[in-house]
Structure 1
Amino acid sequence: MSEPLRVLVGTTKGVFVLTSNDDRETWNLDGPHCDLWTINHVIGDPTTGEMWAGGGSDWSGAGVWHSGDQGKTWSLAPLTSGDMFEWAKNDPEAATFLGVDTSATFPFDKSFSSVWSLARVGGRLYAGTKPAMLLTSADSGESWQEVTGLREHPSSDSWQPGGAGLTLHTILTNEKTPDQLRIAISAAGVFATEDGGTTWERMNRLDNDMDQGHHHHDNQNEIGHCVHNMIGNGEDGALIYQQNHSGVFRSRDGGRSWHDITGNLPSTFGFPIAADPHDPSIVWTIPLNGDMQGRYPPDAAAAVWRSTDAGETWQDMREGLPQKGCFFTVLRQAMATDRSPETGVYFGTNSGSIFASTDRGRSWTEIARHLPTVLSVETL
């Protein structure tokens, strides 16, 4: 491999970077970065090596961290204030102890507590927040503005939070048409724009020929609004997969309608989904035993399930994964692929492990362990 491969990991205690210089045989771990912030998502630009990390909490406030030197150093663009700032502002000794600049200003005041998702396309950055807002930056993350068209959608007053709150956790982009975005909000569903965010269409419609018996919401002509994760695959942006609270779905028309492909999976419930960048018919997901049953692998035996026919059938892949007493959870943004000729697949667990496959999921190796809770995994 001519260039190092990096796995970017967001955790409850900052950013970690795993680097392989020998075609994924060995890995070196670096971190934590970003002052031990809770980091929900980390992305990178392969052309420049720049990285961005979004996160925050009620305590720290929300912000986006930026690294221009491949993750060696990081700087923060603060977006909202948190409890720490308010405490420090009223207590000079606390301000000194915590190193807080009490003259700082925050462009979004207290509008949201954390950044949950990031994307880059056409020279612009996008960020999704909790509660759900969409932000954009034209200067590599130094300054941000809200994409107000989304929050002005007529349905916005009816959006309901999922278990983790009202989070905008997925932003899909298309390099050929940068003004085309698909976003997912838990629990409001899928939204699409073709004009860079000025206008939006809500897209949760099921195919007309579906057996809708397991969808736990009032409108049986829709998928559940609690989308857990979504991945686009295909140059034209038409093919999208999603893991929903109530099943796995596929769209071949850019999200305008969805087809249930849960099929022979052992559960309708799970969080992440990933697709092969070289073959749009290959997709992976990690079913869990259910919402109220513990949210761990069925029978406490870990498996990644792979489809090679766009979700029509699924096969479990277990080699190298724990098959007894496995109670971890894999969260919504904690699975990714690389662009190696033999696609690599990676996922992280809430118990602090990173697993990697260099053969499209047939076998797995634990490449890091004992990390903090893993919230996101991406590759660069």
Structure 2
Amino acid sequence: MAKKVFILVGTRKGAFILESDAARRSWEVRGPFCETWPTNHVVADPGTGTLYAGGGNEWFGPAVWKSTDFGRTWSHSSQGLAYEGGDVPVKSVWSLAAGADGSLYAGVEPAGLFRSTDGGESWTHVEGLQKHPTRPEWNPGGAGLILHSLVLDPADRNKIWVGISAAGVFATEDGGKSWETRNRGTRADFLPEGQNYPEFGQCVHCLVMAPGGGARLYQQNHCGMYRSDDGGRKWESIEAGLPSSFGFPAAVHPRDPDGLYLIPLNGDIKGRFMPEGKTAVWRTRDGGQSWQAMREGLPQDGAYFNVLRQAMATDTMEPAGIYFGTNAGGLYASIDEGDTWDCVAPYLPTITSVETLVIER
């Protein structure tokens, strides 16, 4: 059997799928799917190959779309994607994650967590997160009060980490019944002087787990780049050597826990675009002790776009592929771990998320 590689792309006008063989030299683009709904995140269950797309807005409402034939046909459901009493409507689904036990999780706006045990047909509210004592004081970030990062422990289904803008990182070790803040060491520069390291209220932009079964997490924050080696209980700054402490996405190497990719922007109040209009993906191979700018094949003049928080991913091939999409609709790919780049789809709608799937077919 031959390997097939898929790039799963969420956009403001539906989901797109790019497909290639193991060489990853040419890509077939299919879409838009999901009836061109605003689509915030497209993921795959690596065990079954089932695709899920989450999205919606105030007009459409929230929904999770599902395809069991690699995007040829789709269905969707919003059953159960509502808070108890219905007094606060769920606007949209922002993030999805498939668990090894067959469960599916959805992070929504306003920030909350839902679980499905029937492949996205129906949903149950994971109430413990909303019952955290800090909940009345959570404030929205620029995109709203969203649960945008979902990290499931591959070895323990009871361990989950979430990133909420602008409330911070929260974690559970009992399947969602109880939660604790995991923000020690991350700054909140936008707060008054002397209050920059609160228990919660940080604006986390992206949260990812390193491979290898350890407790290492990486976090791109509004106010810095961080690594934790103890499951988020303490964070260490690793932004030295980067052109900016501000950015949105982060993507881990699929096999090396010291490997990480970032796309820093020029700052939070300076336009939020590529520094000097020159595109670069920054790579570390030592856990953030040093950084290298990868530019070959990327636009180096007039690149005033940005890359959103879920719009970068790696694949599991050897060497690993790295992919990112811009708010200007360009999708870029590297098949040599970031050394060189190609634009594989130049004119998609605003790209909100990028994920991958590798299968034998």
Q: Does the TM-score normalized on the shorter chain lie above 0.5?
A: yes
Q: In structure 2, what is the equivalent of residue 120 of structure 1? A: 98
Q: Percent identity?
A: 50
- CA distance in 2 between counterparts of 1:293 and 1:220 reads 21
Residues 41-96 of structure 1 show CA distances to partners (whole Å, capped at 9, x for unaligned) of 000022221000000011111110011111111001025899xxxxxxxxxxxxxx
Q: What's the secondary structure of 2:128's corresponding residue?
A: helix
The structure number with the bigger radius of gyration is: 1
Shift of 1:107: 10
Measured in 1, the distance between the counterparts of 2:260 and 2:250 equals 7
Which structure is richer in relative contact order (CA contacts within 8 A, separation 6 or more)?
Answer: 2
Match of 2:189 in 1: 215
How many pairs does the alignment contain? 352
8 Å CA contact retained: 2:322, 2:335 = yes
Q: 2:185 aligns with which of 202, 206, 209?
A: 206
AA matched with 1:231: V
The answer to whether the 8 A contact 1:333-1:376 is kept is yes
For the 8 Å contact 2:212–2:257, the answer to whether it is kept is no
Secondary structure of the corresponding residue to residue 35 of structure 2? helix
Q: Match for residue 75 of structure 2?
A: 75
Quick one: structure 1 residues 139 and 24, their matched pair in 2 at CA, closer, same or farther if it must change by over 3 Å?
Answer: same
Secondary structure in structure 2 of the residue aligned to 1:172: strand
Counterpart of 2:94 in 1: which secondary structure?
Answer: strand
Does the Cα contact within 8 Å between 1:12 and 1:39 map onto a contact in 2?
Answer: yes
Alignment match, 1:47:
47
Shift of 1:245: 0.3
1:322 maps to 299
Which residue, out of 201, 213, 226, partners 1:236?
213
Q: TM (normalized to structure 2)?
A: 0.94
| Structure 1 contact 20–27 (Cα < 8 Å) conserved | yes
One of 239, 256, 261 as aligned partner of 1:279: 256
Gaps of 5+ in 1: 83-105
Post-superposition offset of 1:364? 0.6
Q: 2:56 is matched by which residue type in structure 1? A: G
1:193 aligned residue: 172
Does the CA contact (< 8 Å) of 2:80 and 2:124 recur in 1? no
Shift, 1:236, TM fit = 3.1
1:136 aligns with 2:115: yes
Give, in angstroms, the shift of residue 336 of structure 1: 0.2
In 2, distance between residues paired with 1:229 and 1:237? 19
Q: TM-score, normalised on structure 1?
A: 0.89
- Contact 1:62–1:79 (Cα < 8 Å) also in 2: no
User: How far apart in 2 are the matches of 1:45 and 1:127?
Assistant: 13
Deviation string for 1:187-219 (max 9, x for gaps)? 000000001100001010018xxxx7x833353
Post-superposition CA distance 1:195-252 (Å, at most 9, x none): 1100001010018xxxx7x833353335971000011013434100010001100000
| CA 299–76 in structure 1, closer or farther in 2 if over 3 Å, else same | same
Say whether residues 1:158 and 2:134 are aligned partners. no
Distance in structure 1 (CA, Å) of the matches to 2:242 and 2:290:
8
Is the Cα contact below 8 Å between 1:80 and 1:113 reproduced in 2? Answer: no
Q: Partner of 1:376 in structure 2? A: 353
CA separation of 1:109/1:18 partners in 2, compared to 1, >3 Å: closer, same or farther? farther
Q: Deviations over 1:242-265 (max 9, x none)?
A: 100011000000000000000010
Partners of 1:64 and 1:79 within 8 A in 2: no
Deviation at 1:108, TM superposition (A): 5.8
